[in-house]
């Protein structure tokens, strides 16, 4: 059993628990490679990939096929090989190892991500940081954060979370590896005080867990990078919008001038006042 009997299981819906199981299995695959002297390759888009990415994706896909039969999955490594299924209104987005650069640096700031999309919206998601031993779950308007054990086999705590209204000087999170001048302008526009640089989808989760207030991403991302963290944040009361204030949508397989499943720039926050200031800057 992947969820400890001491947890308040009644808080976690069955389907969400099954997503957690898949993420934990992916985390175990990642940790198995992390413990070795792994090598890194470069994909056609110049992004790095390791055996951990591939192994975790295989394990997650196997779990989802068993537990959610018939629901298509768009997964990063398969997509990079041109293997993208017909999705319809309901599908999963999987990034088996978000933050490969952080994985290579061995700083622990990488995540395993599974997001469920229904009618263009992320309605469920799990973000697991196996080295940091943190897990975040969002499911249809409810969100939780928790901890996992050393081997990434069990969840050891689980607590409901909610976004917060920011103080006068909001705490902002930004990408450690992809900080841009546009991001700096956005941070200045909202009067960001403390700035935390952290890798991967953890940025969404810190906002969801009321540890930060604002996450602008003024750089390229793919839907599998964001779906799980976006689901957690929205379930915790936050919003993710494009720079013109429109809600970020998913399933963008054929948008002129963009790669399949590529995101535009976006803003993530739990505070409507911050959101208004950010959208005014981005307009």
pLDDT (0 to 100) of residue 47:
87
Instruction: Name residue 116's beta-bridge partners.
Output: 92, 124
| Alpha helices by DSSP H, 35-162 | 51-67, 76-80, 100-105
Angle between helix 51-67 and helix 14-34 axes, rounded to 10 deg: 160
Torsion, CA 279, CA 201, CA 13, CA 272, rounded to 10: -20
Q: What is the pLDDT of residues 78-106, one digit of tens each?
A: 999 999 999 999 999 999 999 988 999 99
pLDDT (0 to 100) of residue 244:
92
Enumerate residues 6+ apart whose C-beta is below 8 A from 119: 89, 90
Q: What is the number of other CB atoms lying within 10 angstroms of the CB of residue 220?
A: 14
Q: Kindly list the structural domains of the chain, giving each domain's residue range(s) and its CATH number in brackets, ordered by start.
A: 9-160 (3.30.540.10), 172-282 (3.40.190.80)
Global pTM reads: 0.94
pLDDT (0 to 100) of residue 5:
47
pLDDT (0 to 100) of residue 185:
85
Three-class SS state of 204:
helix
The list of the chain residues with pLDDT below 70 reads 1-10, 176-178, 282-283
pLDDT (0 to 100) of residue 1:
38
Mean pLDDT of the chain: 91
pLDDT (0 to 100) of residue 178:
65
pLDDT (0 to 100) of residue 7:
52
Nearest to 205 by CA among 230, 175, 180: 230
């Amino acid at each position: 059993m992947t969820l400890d009997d001491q947890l308040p299981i009644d808080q976690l819906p069955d389907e969400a628990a099954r997503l957690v199981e898949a993420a934990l299995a992916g985390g175990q695959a990642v940790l198995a490679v992390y413990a070795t002297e792994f090598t890194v390759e470069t994909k056609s888009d110049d992004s790095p990939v390791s055996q951990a990415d591939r192994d975790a994706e295989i394990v997650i896909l196997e779990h989802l096929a068993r537990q959610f039969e018939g629901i298509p999955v768009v997964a990063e490594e398969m997509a990079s090989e041109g293997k993208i299924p017909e999705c319809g209104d309901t599908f999963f987005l999987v990034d088996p190892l978000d933050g490969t650069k952080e994985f290579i640096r061995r700083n622990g700031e990488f995540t395993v991500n599974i997001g469920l999309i229904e009618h263009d919206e992320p309605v469920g998601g799990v973000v697991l940081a196996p080295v940091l031993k943190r897990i975040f779950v969002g499911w249809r308007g409810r969100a939780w954060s928790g901890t996992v054990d050393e081997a990434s086999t069990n969840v050891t705590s689980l607590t409901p979370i909610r976004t917060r209204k920011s103080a006068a000087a909001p705490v902002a999170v930004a990408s450690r590896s992809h900080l841009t001048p546009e991001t700096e302008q956005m941070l200045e526009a909202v009067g960001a005080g403390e700035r935390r640089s952290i890798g991967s989808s953890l940025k969404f989760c810190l906002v969801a867990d009321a540890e930060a207030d604002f996450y602008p991403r003024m750089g390229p991302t793919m839907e599998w990078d964001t779906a799980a963290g976006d689901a957690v944040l929205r379930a915790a009361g936050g919003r993710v919008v494009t720079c013109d204030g429109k809600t970020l949508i998913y399933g963008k397989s054929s948008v002129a001038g963009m790669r399949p499943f590529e995101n535009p720039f976006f803003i993530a926050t739990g505070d409507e006042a911050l959101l208004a200031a950010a959208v005014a800057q981005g307009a």
